[in-house]
Amino acid sequence: MKRSGIAEKLEQFSGRNTFGFTIQDVVREFQETNRFHLARILVNMVDKGILCKIARD
């Protein structure tokens, strides 16, 4: 399966030695990409078990 450039770029977030990242972090990194499209990619990655979503109260 061919991976999108966005998915590959998101892997860079895991190498930053931080606990996680927010949608705002992703939007800043991909300013030229539609925010809805980015959110859909993140949802797909969570559904596939690539990412884990953590909700804050």
In a domain, 15, yes or no: yes
In a domain, 34, yes or no: yes
Which long-range CB contacts under 8 A does 50-56 form with residues at least 24 apart? 50/7, 51/10, 54/20
In a domain, 21, yes or no: yes
In a domain, 53, yes or no: no
Domain that holds residue 31: 5-47
Task: From first to last of the 57 residues of the chain, give the pLDDT tens digit.
Answer: 455 676 677 777 767 777 778 888 888 888 888 888 888 888 888 898 877 888 775
In a domain, 12, yes or no: yes
Count up the domains in the chain and report the number: 1
In a domain, 55, yes or no: no
In a domain, 29, yes or no: yes
Residue closest to 23 by CA, chosen among 2, 1, 57, 54:
54
Q: What is the pTM of this model?
A: 0.65
